[in-house]
């Protein structure tokens, strides 16, 4: 039998009986007794359930043992017939009972084995669960350690982030202050420029008034003065007869009329006054009177196909993007990513540096001479186009208004400029006012453009060439291209349009025809090196020239459509632009590695 455990309250002086607390002894004793009784009843129920089968088997065993003892005592005496029969009956009953007990014992043993197997399985599962629990505990411990490390790292990152945030806020504060300061400086600079312009205008007005006053004085003095003819210097007649006297007098009167006093209606005076007022009207123009006089443009009767390189030089400190001959063919302009334009004189088959034009804050993308050859126009990555005079190294005019880099800038006349930009706009500028007068929205990136009579032709990255009417700012024709357009060029007679595309093909379009018939020019080895590769038409319109990514210059014959020649081995990188002199004698090619090569057939 299991022992009953009785729990004494702490600090009890005796054993087996609790000491009643002060003021409630009887109630505490009754509670303690009920607690003991409940524990005994609970133990009795548990033990009775566990030993019920054992008690039953034990009772049956006692009955069988008492029966066996009775049978043995009867067999010791002389048996009678009744006793023998009863003994046999008892023996049969004993056998039956013993067999049943043996069968029950076997069943119980089997059940015990089954229980033992189940118990072993439970123990195995328990061990497995304990191992899994131990592994989970280790993983949990590792995860807790990782969480702690991550929390520490997060704390450090949070502190670093807070520090960076403070630095960023301080930088933003300084940036705002610098922007405000820059705005103030810009306002001050604009104010100073306005004051300088006002002073210059006032000085010009004073000079104009002084010239007018001097001219007025000269006119008044000329009007007051009289010219007389000395009679001794008058021619005499060979005849001495009296009838010729009247002739002599009439001749003298005729000479006197020829030398009459100057008046305000004199043609010379009118010319002087007209020139004076013309200069006064042009006081705020960006063009001089000499620039308005169109110089005669030479016509190339036959262009020479270059055969060899006359000169190879490093023209810039960085890659060269554009090159252009002037109308006189004795001056060359190159522009590159080093933000300057360099002018070169072409003399006796060599290039001589003449000057440098500064003012662009970023790389130059396009260079153009005006029809007189006295001004240079350039497009720049700094979202502007700049205009220089050849005798000045700083730009005379800066055209700003595009929101992205300007990729092309062309003269549409002496006093008009057209620009194309990556912001998908084409703008027409008036140089008299230095302002944009027309804006055309385009659906694609504008890579290059050329100007013709009353129209502008632009090439775009969406494989289209658009023709614009400058009078109505509308696109009235679209020509398809086989690839992304990198450059455009128009012949000197404005009849043929050349386009270079990224599909390594040159296309020649006859602008006189409304149909979109195109002639394609390809060559083995020719590859368009970039999105801004420039191709040109020779001055006589008989040849096409373009630079390849392998550093060779390819020249095609327009009439045959075949490759005329290939000029290799002088450039070590992709050729970006080619220019053909208007005289037809020279070709210049430039590349991304700062080299410029002068070619000729000499």
Q: Note the pLDDT tens digit of each residue in 363-382.
A: 999 999 998 889 999 999 99
Lowest mean pLDDT: which of 266-270, 435-439, 446-450? 266-270
Same domain, 439 and 583: yes
What pLDDT does residue 240 have? 35
What pLDDT does residue 274 have? 47
Same domain, 373 and 467: yes
On whether residue 85 sits in a domain, the answer given is no
Q: Are 377 and 429 in contact (CB under 8 A)?
A: no
Same domain, 56 and 141: no
Reported confidence tier of residue 310, pLDDT bands at 50, 70, 90: very high
Same domain, 42 and 174: no
Lowest mean pLDDT: which of 91-95, 153-157, 373-377? 91-95
Q: Hey, is 28 helix, strand or coil?
A: helix
Lowest mean pLDDT: which of 21-30, 92-101, 184-193? 21-30
Reported confidence tier of residue 198, pLDDT bands at 50, 70, 90: confident
How far is the C-alpha of 415 from the C-alpha of 410, rounded, in Å? 11
> Would you say residue 90 has pLDDT above 70?
no
Determine the distance from the C-alpha atom of residue 126 to the mean position of all C-alpha atoms in its chain, rounded to a whole number.
65
Lowest mean pLDDT: which of 104-118, 403-417, 538-552? 104-118
Cα-trace Rg, the chain: 58
What's the Cα-to-Cα distance from 65 to each of 61, 72, 279, 341, rounded to whole Å? 6, 11, 154, 132
What element of type H or E holds 98? helix 81-224
> Would you say residue 426 has pLDDT above 70?
yes
Same domain, 425 and 464: yes
Domain total in the chain: 3
Lowest mean pLDDT: which of 214-228, 263-277, 294-308, 422-436? 263-277
Lowest mean pLDDT: which of 279-288, 457-466, 520-529, 567-576? 279-288
Same domain, 44 and 161: no
> Would you say residue 270 has pLDDT above 60?
no
Same domain, 548 and 470: yes
Same domain, 56 and 171: no
Highest mean pLDDT among 26-40, 50-64, 65-79, 532-546: 532-546
The per-residue pLDDT of the chain, averaged, comes to 80
On whether residue 569 sits in a domain, the answer given is yes
Same domain, 138 and 42: no
Q: Which of 187, 220, 243 is the last residue of a domain?
A: 187
Residues of the domain holding 49:
37-69
Reported confidence tier of residue 24, pLDDT bands at 50, 70, 90: low
Give me the mean pLDDT over the 232-258 stretch. Answer: 38
> Would you say residue 462 has pLDDT above 80?
yes
Q: Are 509 and 485 in contact (CB under 8 A)?
A: no
The DSSP symbol for 587 reads E
Q: Which of 187, 202, 217 is the last residue of a domain?
A: 187
What pLDDT does residue 365 have? 94
On whether residue 245 sits in a domain, the answer given is no
Reported confidence tier of residue 7, pLDDT bands at 50, 70, 90: very low
Give me the mean pLDDT over the 331-353 stretch. Answer: 92
What element of type H or E holds 26? helix 25-76
Higher pLDDT, 236 or 447: 447
Same domain, 438 and 529: yes
Strands in 543-547's sheet, in edge-to-edge order, are 535-537, 543-547, 553-557, 563-567
> Would you say residue 309 has pLDDT above 60?
yes
Phi (first) and psi of residue 149, to 5 degrees = -60, -45
Side-chain-facing half-sphere of 464: CA atoms under 13 Å: 11
Reported confidence tier of residue 58, pLDDT bands at 50, 70, 90: confident
pLDDT digits (tens, 9 = 90+) for 556-590: 999 998 999 999 888 989 999 999 999 888 999 99
End-to-end CA distance of the chain: 131
Does the model's pTM come out above 0.85?
no
Query: Is residue 71 exposed (0-12), middle (13-18) or buried (19+ Cβ within 10 Å)?
Result: middle
What pLDDT does residue 15 have? 41
Side-chain-facing half-sphere of 50: CA atoms under 13 Å: 8
On whether residue 147 sits in a domain, the answer given is yes
> Which are the contacts of 317, defined by CB distance < 8 A and separation ≥ 6?
336, 338, 594
How far is the C-alpha of 110 from the C-alpha of 147, rounded, in Å? 53
Higher pLDDT, 80 or 279: 80
> Would you say residue 102 has pLDDT above 50?
yes
Q: Hey, is 41 helix, strand or coil?
A: helix
Highest mean pLDDT among 27-36, 250-259, 300-309, 319-328: 319-328
What pLDDT does residue 486 have? 94
Q: Are 570 and 318 in contact (CB under 8 A)?
A: no
What pLDDT does residue 4 have? 41
Same domain, 583 and 485: yes
Higher pLDDT, 58 or 147: 147
Q: Which of 140, 164, 187 is the last residue of a domain?
A: 187
On whether residue 30 sits in a domain, the answer given is no
Give me the mean pLDDT over the 403-414 stretch. Answer: 92
- Report the CATH number at residue 394: 2.130.10.10
On whether residue 350 sits in a domain, the answer given is yes
For the chain, give the percent of residues with pLDDT over 90: 41
On whether residue 469 sits in a domain, the answer given is yes
**Which residue is associated with the tokens 């002739």?**
247
On whether residue 378 sits in a domain, the answer given is yes
pLDDT digits (tens, 9 = 90+) for 156-177: 999 999 999 999 999 999 999 9
Same domain, 181 and 318: no
What pLDDT does residue 74 have? 57
């Amino acid at each position: 039998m299991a022992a009953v455990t009785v729990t004494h309250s702490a600090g009890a002086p005796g054993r087996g009986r609790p000491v009643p607390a002060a003021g409630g002894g009887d109630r505490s004793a009754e509670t303690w007794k009920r607690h003991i009784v409940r524990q005994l009843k609970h133990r009795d129920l548990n033990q009775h359930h566990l030993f019920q089968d054992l008690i039953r088997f034990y009772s049956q065993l006692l009955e069988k043992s008492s029966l066996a003892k009775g049978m043995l005592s009867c067999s010791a005496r002389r048996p009678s017939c009744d006793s023998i029969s009863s003994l046999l009956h008892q023996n049969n009953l004993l056998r039956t009972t013993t067999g049943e007990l043996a069968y029950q014992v076997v069943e119980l043993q089997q059940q015990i084995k089954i229980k033992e197997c189940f118990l072993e399985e439970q123990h195995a599962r328990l061990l497995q669960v304990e191992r899994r629990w131990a592994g989970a505990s280790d993983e949990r411990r590792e995860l807790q350690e990782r969480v702690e490390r991550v929390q520490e790292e997060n704390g450090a990152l949070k502190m670093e982030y807070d520090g960076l945030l403070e630095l960023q806020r301080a930088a933003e504060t300084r940036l705002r202050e610098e922007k405000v300061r820059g705005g103030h400086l810009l306002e001050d600079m604009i104010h100073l420029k306005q004051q300088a312009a006002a002073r210059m205008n006032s000085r010009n007005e004073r000079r104009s008034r002084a010239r007018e006053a001097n001219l007025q004085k000269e006119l008044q003095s000329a009007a007051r003065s009289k010219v007389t003819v000395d009679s001794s210097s008058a021619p005499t007649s060979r005849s001495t007869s009296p009838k010729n006297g009247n002739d002599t007098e009439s001749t003298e009167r005729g000479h006197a009329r020829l030398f009459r006093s100057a008046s305000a209606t004199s043609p010379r005076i009118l010319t002087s006054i007209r020139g004076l007022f013309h200069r006064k009207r042009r006081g705020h123009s960006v063009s001089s009177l000499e620039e308005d006089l169109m110089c005669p443009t030479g016509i190339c009767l036959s262009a020479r196909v270059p055969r060899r390189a006359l000169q190879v030089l490093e023209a810039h400190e960085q890659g060269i993007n554009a090159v252009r001959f002037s109308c006189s063919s004795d001056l060359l302009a190159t522009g590159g990513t080093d933000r300057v334009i360099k002018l070169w004189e072409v003399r006796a088959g060599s290039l001589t540096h003449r000057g440098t034009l500064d003012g662009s804050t970023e790389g130059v993308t396009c260079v153009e001479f005006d029809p007189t050859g006295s001004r240079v126009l350039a497009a720049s990555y700094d979202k502007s186009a700049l205009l220089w005079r050849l005798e000045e190294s700083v730009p005379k005019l800066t055209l700003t208004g595009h929101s992205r880099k300007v990729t092309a800038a062309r003269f549409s006349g002496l006093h008009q400029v057209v620009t194309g930009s990556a912001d998908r706009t084409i703008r027409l500028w008036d140089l008299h006012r230095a302002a944009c007068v027309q804006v055309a929205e385009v659906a694609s990136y504008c890579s290059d453009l050329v100007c013709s009579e009353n129209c502008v032709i632009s090439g775009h990255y969406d494989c289209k060439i658009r023709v614009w009417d400058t009078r109505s700012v509308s696109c009235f024709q679209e020509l398809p291209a086989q690839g992304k357009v990198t450059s455009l060029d128009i012949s000197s007679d404005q009849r043929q349009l050349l386009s270079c595309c990224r599909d390594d093909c040159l296309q020649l379009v006859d602008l006189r025809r409304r149909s979109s018939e195109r002639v394609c020019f390809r060559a083995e080895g020719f590859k368009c090196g970039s999105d801004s590769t420039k191709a040109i038409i020779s001055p006589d319109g008989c040849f096409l020239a373009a630079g390849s990514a392998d550093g060779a210059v390819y020249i095609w014959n327009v009439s045959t459509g075949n490759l005329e020649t290939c000029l290799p081995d002088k450039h070590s990188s992709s050729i970006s632009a080619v220019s053909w002199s208007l005289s037809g004698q020279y070709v210049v090619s430039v590349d991304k590695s700062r080299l410029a090569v002068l070619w000729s057939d000499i």
